[in-house]
Chain A
Amino acid sequence: MKARIFVTLKPGVLDPQGKAIHHALAGLGFAGVNDVRAGKLIELDLADGTSDADIEAMCTKLLANTVIENFRIERQP
């Protein structure tokens, strides 16, 4: 089974990379982009039967820094 982990900056945490992407999009002439936030996608290939609790623990112990980041787990069959 696979799981995808989406790691994003918490709302309110300044995102310099998102700002730079925003700036570059504006430079390419794309108007109407209100804001850009950059995050990470981590794909895990897991042994069948890996529990939700284990995946959650992987996120809180390593994959996300919960001081500044949120994470969302998407299990795939």
Chain B
Amino acid sequence: MNSAVIVFPGSNCDRDLAVAIAQVTGRAPAMVWHGDTELPAGTGLIALPGGFSYGDYLRCGAISARSPIIRAVVDAAARGVPVLGVCNGFQILTEAGLLPGALMRNAGLNFVCRDVRLTVENAQSAFTSRYGAGEEIVIPVAHHDGNYAADDATLDRLEGDGRIAFRYAEPVNGSARGIAGILNAEGNVLGMMPHPERKVEAAHGGTDGRRLFEGLLETVGA
């Protein structure tokens, strides 16, 4: 599987994400600069990493979502290429309009950096097929702006259509309906605040994140 990790000025989890993808797929992803306008031919997975792109100026993810490469990401998503956005990557996906809603300052105003328990709500997506529905997993978060907000109609639609992939199983940031990660309507775009790439090998203190990448590999194919 050929994959690409998009690197923005201020990304700081791009290499972690690349290592996780390389470990699971056996191939190092292309590191694509945000100022590029094209993805490498045959890219089968696009990942947007965590970090503080553009210093979170204006709103987190706002400036990055207008980067030249985003047009290529939007086009690829429309063709069905899986797109994974983690943390700042999730914020960028909402700002780019690939996912609904917005991520606001944590309700407690604190930066939250710790392992959290998540419930897998949808275990049938391209990203979550290696998990069991309702399974509880542990993945770390590290964010200041992870408080998911959307209007009630949008939240009802996300729930009704099974587009909530992960929910917090404990209080974390005030997120609406405990949302930790959501899918787009077609199921090929996932945004999540927790960092699956930080739980892929035993030395990380757990491997619950690894199955997300394994599921993707299975879906996309080698």
Contact = CB atoms under 8 A, between A and B. Distances in A.
Interface of A: 13-14, 16-17, 20, 61-63, 65, 67-68
B100 interface: yes
Contact of B102 (A17, A20, A62, A67): A67
A-B pairs, top 8 by smallest CB distance, nearest first, are A67-B102, A16-B105, A68-B102, A16-B109, A20-B109, A16-B107, A65-B102, A68-B149
Contact of A16 (B66, B95, B101, B104): B104
Contacts of B106: 16
Interface residues of B, number: 19
B58 interface: yes
Given A13-B149, A14-B149, A16-B174, A65 B105 contact: no
Contacts, number: 36
Nearest to B104: A68
Given A63-B58, A65-B59, A14 B66 contact: no
A61 B95 CA distance: 10
Contact of B174 (A14, A17, A61, A68): A14
Contacts of A14: 104, 107, 147, 149, 174
B24 interface: no
B62 interface: yes
A9 B111 CA distance: 21
Contacts of A13: 104, 149
B133 interface: no
B150 interface: yes
Contact of B100 (A16, A61, A63, A67): A67
A17 B105 contact: yes
B160 to A, nearest CB: 19
11 contacts: A13-B104, A14-B107, A16-B104, A16-B107, A16-B108, A16-B174, A62-B62, A62-B66, A65-B59, A67-B101, A67-B149
